[in-house]
Amino acid sequence: MKPISPSQVSFAQAEYDKKKKRTRRENFLEKMEQVVPWSRLMEVIEPHYPKSGKRGRPPIGLKRMLRMYFIQQWYGLADEAVEDEIYDSQALRNFMDIDLSKQSVPDATTLMGFRHLLEANDLPQAMLVEVNAMLIERGLLMSKGTLVDATLIAAPSSTKNRDHARDPEMHQAKKGNQWHFGLKAHIGVDKDSGLVHTLVTTSANVSDISQTPALLHGQDVWLDAGYVGVEKREDMQQAPATNGQAVQWHVAKRRKTIEKLAEGWQKNLAQAYEKLKAQVRARVEHPFHIVKNIFKYKKTRYEGLAKNDAQLNVLFALSNLYMMRGQLRP
């Protein structure tokens, strides 16, 4: 975090600095401070960010707003809750370089306007691209193979709102014996690093297999049993070869297919191969774990696919940085 000179230290900051234990929040913020490519991301946003004019209140600095926006994503907070949390937490104020004796925390309306600015200019998608470009330059994101999977994100199903209706862009889908209402995040993950390189957001009733063409990356593609028959689809027949080589499909067999095999070496070999495929595919679950469990994104906060797609792009960009924090930290 940015150090504060002794002449600027407030009583609250001085008391906070004397505490004997560093909190988990402090450690997390310090790590993310070091791994987020702040200058590159601000260059993406800068052309669209309002400039200071002669009239009206000058805009808050881009770096401070970007930090506030990331705090919202990391801790799964609503606009008003972010403002309150920063007022309550000295660690968050240090991260944003705010001294309450000199300036106030940007209010919820300002944060909402910043979020709408990002959404209107497709900047969350550009931020994921920029983060991945940085990871490619560092040699942390390769392009030899892809793990493809999708996850359901629940949306509020209540009709107790102004329109007395559920979100028209969300739909329900059945998984196992249970129905889910919401959206579906389809991701392509780099086989070697486990980093998300591509995201497609759809309503929950869109099949996983239909989004595969948009998620390809490298020659080897690894998928679970929900994608059986993907290589035979007409849209996949047109999939281009990579580096002159055709795509190699590694699709898990359905459990019943393995169970029907006669006992013997063939069944044992098939089970061993399925176990190997499952071990490779396991990496695709890591980004979902970070977004859902660490960043607390288990339910949509906004209405419509566009706003939620924007948030998911930022969340997966931040999850990539979080996964590579050990390699990126100085």
Query: Looking at the structure, do residues 99 and 162 belong to the same domain, yes or no?
Result: no
In a domain, 61, yes or no: yes
Q: Up-side HSE of residue 210: CA atoms within 13 Å toward CB? A: 9
Q: What is the residue-wise DSSP string for 297-314?
A: --B--SSSHHHHHHHHHH
Query: Looking at the structure, do residues 88 and 204 belong to the same domain, yes or no?
Result: no
Three-state secondary structure call for residue 197: strand
Least confidently predicted of 2-6, 27-31, 251-255: 2-6
| pLDDT over 50 at 111, yes or no | yes
User: 52 or 212: which carries more pLDDT confidence?
Assistant: 212
User: 5 or 317: which carries more pLDDT confidence?
Assistant: 317
Confidence band for 12, pLDDT divided at 50, 70 and 90: low
Q: Which residues contact 330 (CB under 8 A, 6 or more apart)?
A: 34
% of the chain beyond a pLDDT of 70? 90
140: phi then psi, degrees, rounded to nearest 5: -100, -15
Measure the CA–CA gap between 199 and 126, rounded to whole angstroms.
12
| pLDDT over 90 at 246, yes or no | no
In a domain, 52, yes or no: yes
Three-state secondary structure call for residue 277: helix
Give the per-residue pLDDT at 289. 97
111 and 68 Cβ atoms separated by less than 8 Å:
yes
Instruction: Give the tens place of pLDDT for each residue, 62-107.
Output: 999 999 999 999 999 999 999 999 999 999 999 999 988 888 999 9
Give the per-residue pLDDT at 147. 94
Instruction: Give the tens place of pLDDT for each residue, 283-297.
Output: 999 999 999 999 999
- Last residue of a domain, which of 91, 121, 151? 121
Q: DSSP letter for 291, please.
A: I
Query: Looking at the structure, do residues 185 and 233 belong to the same domain, yes or no?
Result: yes
Confidence band for 317, pLDDT divided at 50, 70 and 90: very high
Give the per-residue pLDDT at 6. 46
Query: Looking at the structure, do residues 239 and 189 belong to the same domain, yes or no?
Result: yes
Average pLDDT (262-278) is 87
| pLDDT over 90 at 307, yes or no | yes
Give the per-residue pLDDT at 165. 87
- Which sign does the torsion angle of CA 72, 76, 82, 86 carry? negative
In a domain, 319, yes or no: no
Query: Looking at the structure, do residues 172 and 115 belong to the same domain, yes or no?
Result: no
Q: Which residues contact 263 (CB under 8 A, 6 or more apart)?
A: none
Residue 326, classified by CB atoms within 10 Å of its CB into exposed (0-12), middle (13-18) or buried (19+), is: exposed
Query: Looking at the structure, do residues 153 and 115 belong to the same domain, yes or no?
Result: no
298 and 154 Cβ atoms separated by less than 8 Å:
yes
Confidence band for 9, pLDDT divided at 50, 70 and 90: low
- Last residue of a domain, which of 86, 121, 156? 121
Average pLDDT, the chain: 88
Provide the residue count of the chain.
330
pTM passes above 0.85: yes
Measure the CA–CA gap between 223 and 212, rounded to whole angstroms.
10
Give the per-residue pLDDT at 8. 57
Question: In which domain, by residue range, is 249 found?
Answer: 143-302
Q: Which residues contact 119 (CB under 8 A, 6 or more apart)?
A: 306, 307, 310
In a domain, 133, yes or no: no
Query: Looking at the structure, do residues 247 and 196 belong to the same domain, yes or no?
Result: yes
Total number of domains in the chain: 2
Residue 88, classified by CB atoms within 10 Å of its CB into exposed (0-12), middle (13-18) or buried (19+), is: exposed
% of the chain beyond a pLDDT of 90? 62
In a domain, 236, yes or no: yes
Give the per-residue pLDDT at 297. 95
Average pLDDT (136-147) is 88
In a domain, 313, yes or no: no
206 and 184 Cβ atoms separated by less than 8 Å:
yes
Query: Looking at the structure, do residues 74 and 159 belong to the same domain, yes or no?
Result: no
Instruction: Give the tens place of pLDDT for each residue, 169-208.
Output: 999 998 888 899 999 999 999 999 999 999 999 999 999 9
Query: Looking at the structure, do residues 25 and 154 belong to the same domain, yes or no?
Result: no
| pLDDT over 70 at 241, yes or no | no
Helix (H) or strand (E) holding 147: strand 145-154
Give the per-residue pLDDT at 16. 65
